[in-house]
Amino acid sequence: MTISLEQIKALRDATGISTMSCKKALEEAQGDSKKAIEILRKKGEAKAGERAEKSTGEGIISSYIHTNKKIGVLIALGCETDFVAKNEDFMNLGQDIAMHVAALNPQYLRPEDVPADIIEKEREIWKEQLKNERKPEKIWNNIMEGKEKKFKEGEALLSQPFVKNLEITIEKLISEHVIKLGENIKILKFIRFSL
């Protein structure tokens, strides 16, 4: 069964859970949203979604300086309480995300943050590539939709596969810590410096 982007987005909006987890739950539930929510709840992921609206007024600034001293990252990681902000797991999460930013250089936090003008320029390039590859024009839109989705995910921190474990995204890594620590966790801001 094919799961549409609209179904995934609706489940993500309803639960606050990562796109990939929503897709897997919908596939397992054969497109039934209510059953997918039940599956996510059984796996404990819905708990992370329930916390998504909680205020993140506490947190830490994490940093990472690469061994060559030519790349540095600062990350503001928010949580709900000072107690969690001082937790070693939370601090390690900040370090891991900062290291990931140093390694993969994401430009945006979320895929939807990628500006339309950047996407438009990429679409022009993809169109030329498709012309050169002699792909039939009737399938260009489908191909370009897939390329756009992949491009946005590649440019956005939350949707990138975690550099230390490519099986999960940064968003999933944060979700796991939300479940483990029992508080909402958000990346508030990040900046990468390089020489």
Same-domain check for residues 102 and 163? yes
Secondary structure (DSSP) of 44-97: THHHHHHHTTS---EEEEEEEE-TTSSEEEEEEEEES-HHHHT-HHHHHHHHHH
DSSP 114: S
Quick check: 172 pLDDT over 70?
Answer: yes
Same-domain check for residues 139 and 165? no
Same-domain check for residues 9 and 35? yes
Q: Which of 43-52, 77-86, 137-146, 180-189 comes out lowest in average pLDDT?
A: 43-52
Quick check: 149 pLDDT over 70?
Answer: yes
pLDDT tens column, 26-48: 888 888 888 887 787 776 655 55
pLDDT tens column, 61-96: 999 999 999 999 999 999 988 899 999 999 999 999
**pLDDT given at position 157:** 97
Same-domain check for residues 63 and 102? yes
**pLDDT given at position 53:** 59
Which residues lie closer than 8 Å to 65 by C-beta, 6 or more apart? 71, 72
**pLDDT, mean over the chain:** 87
Kindly state the tokens that stand for 157. 């921190």
Q: Which domain holds residue 24?
A: 5-51
CATH code: domain of residue 187: 3.30.479.20
**pLDDT given at position 49:** 54
Nearest one of 151, 154, 153 to 122, comparing CA atoms:
151
Rounded mean pLDDT, 14-22? 71
CATH code: domain of residue 36: 1.10.8.10
Same-domain check for residues 80 and 144? no
**pLDDT given at position 151:** 93
Number of separate domains in the chain: 3
- Tell me the C-alpha distance between 174 and 94, whole Å: 10
Same-domain check for residues 9 and 97? no
